[in-house]
Structure 1
Amino acid sequence: MSENKKVSIITPLFNGAQFVSETIASVLLQSYQNLELLIIDDGSTDSGPQIVEEYKKKDNRIKFIRNDHNLGPARTRNRGIEVATGRYIAFLDSDDIWLPNKLEVQLHFMEKNKTPFTFTHYEQLDEEGNFLKKMDYFPDKVDYRSTMMSNKIGCLTAMYDTVYFGKVYMADIRNRQDYTLWLQLLKKVKYAYCVPEILARYRIRKGSISSNKWKLIKYHWHIYRHIEQQPFFTSLYYITNYITLRLLRK
């Protein structure tokens, strides 16, 4: 495969020793091999960095970067985007997993349909790796407005083409920073398209922000008002739709 089709995978690491081996293995076992895995450690105090170093010795596609101090998830991911050398940018957190054909299927879809921003279906797991549910009810495509009301794009499934967009970064906020990136991209292209296959597995951690619906409402309101700078009543419209859809588990 030519260099201009390389995929750069951005993986932030913070005390992820429990799951990072499984995450790395799921990347190295991809059927599409023209990739680099950028793991950025954000001040881990467990054995996670040592585990990464061992993998790095065995595969030179792994690049390991260590922050001088804790920067938080947004700036850590953005540091990975900054040094990425691939045409395509993808994301995989250090406790999540890709299926072996994830990149191959998604890239084929992007090239066949000439679309620079895609996401896929995925499954949810608990901390022990037990299946929870399928996330396979997404529409064929989403735009800026529909994504403001309800985000269907799982970070572990998203991929964008830097030839079309250039490098686009996440807002420096504590939570939902990936959502701000999707909104930026959807201002530059009409739609993000969904690859209608389950190609990844997302781990629900106890006490995580993504498991707390009411905390999510607070972060979404901040994004509407302060990141997207929407008027008060427009933000109220979006947050009302968001709450309704979350409560209905859509």
Structure 2
Amino acid sequence: MKPLVSIITPMYNSEAFIDQTIKSILGQTYTNWELWLIDDCSTDNTIALVTKYVAMHDNIQLLSNTTNAGAAISRNKGIEVSQGDFIAFLDADDLWMPNKLEIQVNVMLTQNCDVSFSSYKQINEAGQSLNKLVKALPQLSYKKYLKTNYIGNLTGMYNAKVLGKITAPNLRKRQDWLLWLSAIKKSGKTALGIQEPLAYYRVRSNSISSNKLELLKHNYWVYKKGLGFSTIKSIYRMVIFIYEHFFVKSRLIVSTKQ
């Protein structure tokens, strides 16, 4: 039997996009998966929209937080109950291409890698192409990844059968970066970057990536709180981060407009 993939999707007031997100999972050519939807006290119509999918599909499950706890707690709750050999993540406003899981599982099995990710395309809030491709590095070491976040969380997958269940620290932002840092470090091998784009990332007007000062603040806390670095070391790492993020990683975003 093919390995089971556990998909973790945290939700908060996601009624505008969650239907499309779930449909992109249902449309996968790889069918041995389970989906854990974790609602973080939504006040809109999110629960009503996903309940119909839970009723129709045995491999889709819904969990609800009793208080608004943030994405890290929600993801961790899903990881804890997951049964899969592999664990993947898809936020409630992003989409997967139909062959995403099939390609990625096959690559991980044939290449014997513990952590993988892929290139992805950007879309706007209406789902229209922004004609931008974010290219994945072919190989990603822990040392390189410490410089800035090179893994689009919607493309990442790790082998839970080999690494065990790796959870995210309780930071409100950028906890996905810390999760993948832990996974790569525990693996002891480089993460494999699949060059083919396998997902669509929805660029939101209120995302932290659209606010440069917020981006710097949250990434400082990755070093200071998430990794426990001293203030001096965290500032030093931020100098490296600024160069890597704005002058190196930025070159991986290319135009697809003909």
TM above 0.5: yes
Q: Secondary structure at the match of 2:38?
A: strand
Q: Give the aligned partner of residue 41 of structure 1.
A: 39
- Residues 171, 226 of structure 2: 8 Å contact kept: no
Structure 2 SS opposite 1:90: strand
Residues in 1 aligned to 2:76 and 2:115: alpha-carbon distance in whole angstroms: 18
CA–CA separation in structure 2 for the residues paired with 1:235 and 1:9? 33
Unaligned runs of 5+ in 2: 252-258
Aligned residue in 1 for 2:139: 141
Task: Confirm or deny: 8 A CA contact 2:148 2:244 kept in the other structure.
Answer: yes
Give how far 1:232 is off.
4.1
CA RMSD between the two structures: 1.3
Offset of residue 132 of structure 1: 1.6
Cα deviation code 1:168-205 (max 9, x no counterpart): 10010110010110111121122111011100000011
Partner of residue 227, structure 1: 226
Could you say which residue in structure 1 is the equivalent of 2:155?
157
Structure 2 match to 1:218: 217
**2 CA distance for matches of 1:90 and 1:217?**
26
8 Å contact 1:96–1:202 — kept in the other structure? yes
Please report how far the alpha carbon of residue 56 of structure 1 lies from its aligned counterpart in structure 2 after TM superposition: 1.4
Aligned-pair CA distance for 1:216: 1.4
Q: TM-score, normalised by structure 2?
A: 0.92
> What's the CA shift for 1:231?
4.0
Task: Give the secondary structure class of the aligned counterpart of 1:78.
Answer: helix
Kindly indicate whether the alpha-carbon contact (under 8 Å) linking 1:136 and 1:197 is maintained by their aligned counterparts in 2.
no
- 2:254 paired residue number: none
Give the secondary-structure state (helix, strand or coil) at the position aligned to 1:103. Answer: helix
Structure 1, unaligned runs of 5 or more? none
| Partner secondary structure for residue 8 of structure 1 | strand
Task: Quote the sequence identity (%).
Answer: 40
Q: Paired residue for 1:92? A: 90
- 1:208 to partner: Cα distance: 1.4
How many equivalent pairs are there? Answer: 248
Give the CA deviation at 1:40.
0.5
Say which of 92, 102, 105 aligns to 1:104: 102
Q: CA contact under 8 A between 2:18 and 2:92: conserved in structure 1?
A: yes
Alignment partner, residue 174 of structure 1:
172
1:84-129 deviation per Cα after TM superposition (whole angstroms, max 9, x unaligned): 0111100001100000000000001001100010000001111111
* Partner Cα separation in structure 1 for residue 6 and residue 135 of structure 2: 27
- Shift of the alpha carbon at 1:34? 0.2
Asked if structure 2 preserves the Cα contact closer than 8 Å seen for 1:40 and 1:80, the reply is: yes
Q: Which moved more, 1:119-128 or 1:211-220?
A: 211-220
Question: Helix, strand or coil: the match of 1:40?
Answer: strand
1:9-41 superposed Cα distances (whole Å, 9 cap, x missing partner): 000011000010100000011000000010001
Q: Which moved more, 1:10-19 or 1:52-61?
A: 52-61
| Secondary structure, counterpart of 1:60 in structure 2 | coil
Name the counterpart of 1:198: 197
Match of 1:117 among 115, 118, 123: 115
SS in 1 for 2:9: strand
Deviations 1:207-226 (A, max 9, x none): 11132222111111111122
**Aligned match of 2:50:** 52
Report if aligned partners of 1:150, 1:245 keep a CA contact under 8 Å in 2: yes
The worse-fitting range, judged by mean Cα deviation, of 122-131 and 227-236 is: 227-236
Three-state SS of the structure 1 residue aligned to 2:146 is helix
Which SS does the other structure have where 1:149 is aligned?
coil
Q: Structure 1 length normalisation: TM-score?
A: 0.95
Distance in 1 of aligned mates of 2:220 and 2:82: 31
Other-structure match for 2:77: 79
| Aligned counterparts of 1:194 and 1:120: Cα–Cα separation in 2 | 5
Shift of 1:230: 2.7
Give me the whole-angstrom Cα distance separating, in 2, the residues matched to 1:68 and 1:198. Answer: 36
